[in-house]
Amino acid sequence: MLDVLIKNALIIDGTGSEPYSANIGIDGSRIAFVSEGVTAAAASTIDAAGLVTCPGFIDVHSHSAPIP
């Protein structure tokens, strides 16, 4: 069983390909799948119809500055 299932999300994957509608399964702190047809039982389900997700991005935000 997944921890979270995000259904019907518009996926923008950062590769430059066209956005597509899919489901995202989250198990613990990991993305288990991003798929147009797969669904599974989950402790929590989010209907993301009309919303955009960008799964797998890493936040590289930092407050450090280069040392001159």
2-61 pLDDT, tens digit per residue, is 999 999 999 998 888 999 999 999 999 999 999 998 889 999 999 999 999 987 776 677
Residue 65 has pLDDT above 80, yes or no: no
Q: Domain 2-53 classified CATH 2.30.40.10? A: yes
Annotated domain spans of the chain: 2-53
pLDDT for residue 68? 66
Per-residue pLDDT, 14: 82
Q: Please give the Cα distance from 39 to 9 (Å, whole number).
A: 13
Measured CA to CA, the distance from residue 10 to residue 21 in angstroms comes to 4
